Structure 1
Amino acid sequence: MKTQELLQVLETHKDKALLFEYAPNQLVGANYHITEVKHIAVDSVDCGARTDSWKETIVQLWESPSEKDKTEFMSTYKALGILKKVGSIKPFDMTSEVKFEYGNSLFHTAQLFVNDYEIKNNQLLFKLAVEKTDCKAKEACGVPETVEKTEEVACCAPGGGCC
């Protein structure tokens, strides 16, 4: 999801509670706050020596321990107000990819992509997901597009070849 689409979805549904699903059936607690918005410019070189660059908008979510019993989620209206204020201080690149940075004691901190969103009851639910790492230069590196499953042999098993 691009930053422009995020802001449009929030604007369209500003009368709803805003929820985030960070893993299947696992919600960021109602005690979350938006603690930081990062405007990131990535300038990279992949393993095939190709360069690339892009921008990202990263919205950090944090659960306040002092509000752990809170049951009412932040309103979309409030979140939109926070993001508009950020945009007035440091303008967004509306074409940049949006990620939400989140972690808790049961889930490693990660930058999560927006896979989808849904409107249910009086809630706007963003479904987040971790993107797996991948080789961007498969052809240059000689990596086949589809990796066939190989039979694993224990290293120190007879005939394993390493002991």
Structure 2
Amino acid sequence: MNMEDLTWGQFKALLLAHPNLHLQFKYAEDALVDASYHITEIKKAPITSVDCGGVINNWTEIIIQLWEPQGKMGGDAMKVEKALSIINLVEKALTLDAEANVKIEFGNSTFYTRQMYPSAIAVHGNDLIVDLRPDVTRCKAINRGGSCVTADKGEECCTPVKPKVQLIDLAQTNCCEPGSGCC
């Protein structure tokens, strides 16, 4: 499974399968979110966009926000069952779409805050480690058929529009006449 396509339902199922493990998040090579982290909120973000080909796109993202306190304490990270209790509390107040994409939002004093996809989730000893990788920019028009050409105009939808310039021979025209187009 491509983890950037991981749904909220699949993510929860992976957590439910490992309630007694410690939940860790790897945000960079050899860098884990400090074990003293908190899940500060879970966001439901319905998104509507119009892409460069003029097509409306709709999807929902569920974003889990992690916060790392200033005074890092180390030790063991929260257990998965604690994370699930937070999720259950959120789901009592907010309906979360099982088909929504999952992202994790994190940043600290050395890592700018960003939303990342779980790229892998694996058991390592007593830890369930969620490996995070940044989202990438994509052209949705290309995903519709291998081309970024608009159907109705036959033009490249991502190519900047070049203004058409009309050249006027000023020697042949009195440019100060009303309606001459040069002023």
TM-score band w.r.t. shorter chain = 0.7 to 0.9
Q: Which residue of 2 aligns with 1:156?
A: none
After superposition, what is the alpha-carbon deviation per residue over 1:46-103, rounded to whole angstroms, capped at 9, x for unaligned? 122111000110000000124x123221110100110011011111100000100001
For the residues of structure 2 that align with 1:35 and 1:72, how far apart are their CA atoms?
18
Show the 5 A alignment for 1:12-31. 12-31=17-36
Q: CA RMSD in A?
A: 1.5
The secondary structure found in structure 1 opposite 2:140 is coil
**Structure 1 segments unaligned to the other structure (5+ residues):** 145-163
Greater relative contact order: 1 or 2 (C-alpha under 8 angstroms, separation 6 or more)? 1
CA contact (8 A) 2:34 2:73 kept: no
- Name the amino acid aligned to 1:39: K
Show the 5 A alignment for 1:61-140. 61-66=66-71, 68-138=72-142, 139-140=148-149
Counterpart among 55, 60, 63 of residue 65 in structure 2:
60
Counterpart among 8, 20, 26 of residue 3 in structure 1:
8
TM-score for the superposition, normalised by structure 2: 0.74
CA contact (8 A) 2:43 2:64 kept: yes
The secondary structure found in structure 2 opposite 1:71 is coil
The secondary structure found in structure 2 opposite 1:93 is coil
More strand by share: 1
**Structure 2 segments unaligned to the other structure (5+ residues):** 1-5, 143-147, 150-155, 160-183
- Name the amino acid aligned to 1:58: I
Q: Percent identity?
A: 36
TM-score for the superposition, normalised by structure 1: 0.83
